[in-house]
Chains A and B, each alone.
Chain A
Amino acid sequence: MTRTKYQETLGILKANIREMGKLSQDAIHNSVIALKNLDVNLAETVIDGDQVIDDYELRIEKCVSQIISLQSPTAGDMRLVTSCLKIAIDLERMSDLAFDIAQSTKRIEEEHIKPLIDIPKMAEIAENMLEQVMIAFANNDVKLAESVAKLDDEIDRTFYEVWKELITMMAQDENIINYASQLLFVIRYLERIGDHACNVCESVVYIASGKREELN
C-alpha cells in the first residue's frame, strides 16, 4: 500500500461521516422523544446540538476540498470523496429537520389529545434507516443500502395515514388546529428525513459500485 498519508485522510473523512451520521440519528431520536413527552428541555438540547452537526458539515467540506486539491482522487476514491460531500449535506438537512421537530414541540401549548404512536414509529424507521445506511457506508455494502432504501415506503405510507387522520380531526374540532397543524409539520419533516436517508443509500451504492441508482 502506498500513499499512506492520503489513505489516512480518506479514513478520517469516512470517520467524520459516521460520527455525523450518529449525531443526526441522535438528534432525530431525541426530537421525537421530546415531542412525545412534550419535554421542552430535551427539545432545547436538540436545537443547541444542531450547531455541532453544522460544524461537522463544514469540516467534511474542508476535508473534501483538501483531498481534491492535494491528492487528485480517482475511481473509487473520487466516488467516495464527492459522495461524502453529498452525504454530509443530506445528514445536515436531516438534523435541520430534527431541529424543526424540536421547534414544533416548543410551539405545542396543549397536552396530547391521545398518546403518539405512529409518529414515534416513523421516527424509529428513519433512525433505523440512518443507522443501517451508515453500516452500509462503512462496509461498501450495496445490498444493504438497497434494502435500507425500501424501508422508506413504510414511512411514506404512515405519513399519508396520519395526514388524513389529522385533517379529519381538525375538520371535526377547530380548537385543535394549532396542535394538529404542528403534528402535520412533524410528519412532513419525518417523511423528508426518510427521503434524505434514501439519498444516502444512493450515494453508498454509487461509492461501492459506480452505478447511479434511483432508490427514492
Chain B
Amino acid sequence: MPEAYENGTEIEVKDLNLWYGDNHALHDISIDIPKNSVTAFIGPSGCGKSTFLRCLNRMNDLIPSCRIEGRVNINGEDIYSKETDVVDLRKRVGMVFQKPNPFPMSIFDNISYGPRIHGMSKKEMPAIVENALKSGALWKEVSDRLNVSALDLSGGQQQRLCIARTLAVKPEVILFDEPCSALDPISTSKIEDVILELKKKYTIVIVTHNMQQAARISDHTAFFLMGDLVEFDKTAQIFESPQEKATEDYITGRFG
C-alpha cells in the first residue's frame, strides 16, 4: 500500500466483499484511493475490477442477486448507509462507460440534462454546457453545432461528450470503465489528455485493459486477480518492480 497521499484520501474501502448469488466475486478488498489523482485498476477479464469500480457509486445495487458487505467511505461519508441518497451519490461519483452512450438528443441537451434534473436553473445552462464541453476538450469541435444530434458525432467525440456530461453535474469523483477500448489511438490520446487535466480538480479511477494506458496516465495502480486485490502501489513501482509474482506475470503478458 502506498504511503500517505499528497492531497489526502478521497475513497476509503475497508473489507469489502461482494457476492453475485452464491458467487463470491470480491474478497476482503481494502484500499485507500487518493484525492486529485488517477488510480488505475488492472487485471484479466473477470478479475472483479469493473465490479469493484461499480461498488464506488453503488451501480451494483441495480443487480438483484448482488450482495455487498464492508465499508466504502467517500470523503469520510459511508455511501452504503441507509441515509445515502443514491441519486445524489451518482451525481457526486460520475461514471463514463466503455461504449460511448450519448442520449438520442442534441449535444446541448445531453449536457444540460443532468444539471436540469438536479435543479440547476435554465438561465445557467449555456454557461454550464460551455464549461463542461471545454473541460471535456470538445468545445472547439462542436461550439457551432450544439443543436445537432449527439449521435452524429464520431466515437471519440461521443466519449468526450459523455465525459463532459458527467462534469456538468459537478462530481467529486469520476469512474472510467475502459473508456478508450472502442476508440482509435488519436481519440484515445485526446481522452488521456482530458483525464490528466481533470485530475487537477477531480479524483479519477479508471479500469483499463491497456497496460500502457495505465502506465501513462495513472499515479497509482491496483492489480486484481480472481476477486482479490493482489497489489496496490505507485504506478512507477508496479511497472518497474512489482512485489508480487502474479502482478509481474500479468503486466509482462505471461498470462491473462
Give the interface of A toward B (CB within 8 A): 1-3, 6, 72-79, 209-211
Q: Judging by beta carbons under 8 Å apart, are B240 and A78 in contact?
A: yes
Name B211's closest neighbour in chain A (CB-CB). Answer: A74
Most chain B beta-carbon contacts within 10 A, residue among A74, A78, A79:
A74
Q: Judging by beta carbons under 8 Å apart, are A74 and B241 in contact?
A: no
Q: Judging by beta carbons under 8 Å apart, are B256 and A74 in contact?
A: no
Q: Judging by beta carbons under 8 Å apart, are B241 and A210 in contact?
A: yes
What would 20 more interface pairs be, CB under 8 Å, given A78-B239, A79-B241?
A1-B254, A2-B253, A2-B256, A72-B212, A73-B252, A74-B215, A74-B239, A74-B240, A74-B251, A75-B238, A75-B239, A75-B241, A75-B242, A75-B248, A75-B251, A76-B248, A77-B252, A78-B240, A210-B240, A211-B241
Name B212's closest neighbour in chain A (CB-CB). Answer: A72
B253 is contacted by which of A6, A79, A209, A211 (Cβ under 8 Å)?
A6
Name A82's closest neighbour in chain B (CB-CB). Answer: B240
**CB < 8 Å A-B pair total:** 38
Chain B 196-230 interface 0/1 with A at a Cβ cutoff of 8 Å (1 = within)? 00000000000000011001000000000000000
Number of contacting residues on B, CB 8 A? 16
What are 29 of the A-B contact pairs (CB < 8 Å)?
A1-B254, A2-B253, A2-B255, A2-B256, A3-B253, A3-B254, A6-B253, A72-B211, A72-B212, A73-B252, A74-B211, A74-B215, A74-B239, A74-B240, A74-B251, A74-B252, A75-B240, A75-B241, A75-B242, A75-B247, A75-B248, A75-B252, A76-B252, A77-B252, A78-B239, A209-B241, A210-B240, A210-B241, A211-B241
Given contacts A72-B212, A74-B211, contact A2 B254 (CB under 8 A): yes
CB neighbours of B248 from chain A (8 A): 75-76
CB neighbours of A79 from chain B (8 A): 240-241
- A209 CA / B247 CA spacing, docked (Å): 15
CB neighbours of A77 from chain B (8 A): 252
- A127 CA / B29 CA spacing, docked (Å): 52
- A62 CA / B115 CA spacing, docked (Å): 55
Name B243's closest neighbour in chain A (CB-CB). Answer: A210
- A131 CA / B255 CA spacing, docked (Å): 34
Instruction: State the Cβ distance, A144 to closest chain B Cβ, in Å.
Output: 20
Name B215's closest neighbour in chain A (CB-CB). Answer: A74
Name A209's closest neighbour in chain B (CB-CB). Answer: B241
- A3 CA / B238 CA spacing, docked (Å): 20
Name A3's closest neighbour in chain B (CB-CB). Answer: B253
- A77 CA / B249 CA spacing, docked (Å): 10
Q: Please report which residues of chain B, range 165-217, place their CB below 8 angstroms from some CB of chain A when the two chains form the complex.
A: 211-212, 215
- A76 CA / B241 CA spacing, docked (Å): 7
- A2 CA / B254 CA spacing, docked (Å): 5
CB neighbours of B255 from chain A (8 A): 1-2
Name A78's closest neighbour in chain B (CB-CB). Answer: B240
Most chain B beta-carbon contacts within 10 A, residue among A1, A75, A76, A78:
A75
CB neighbours of B238 from chain A (8 A): 75
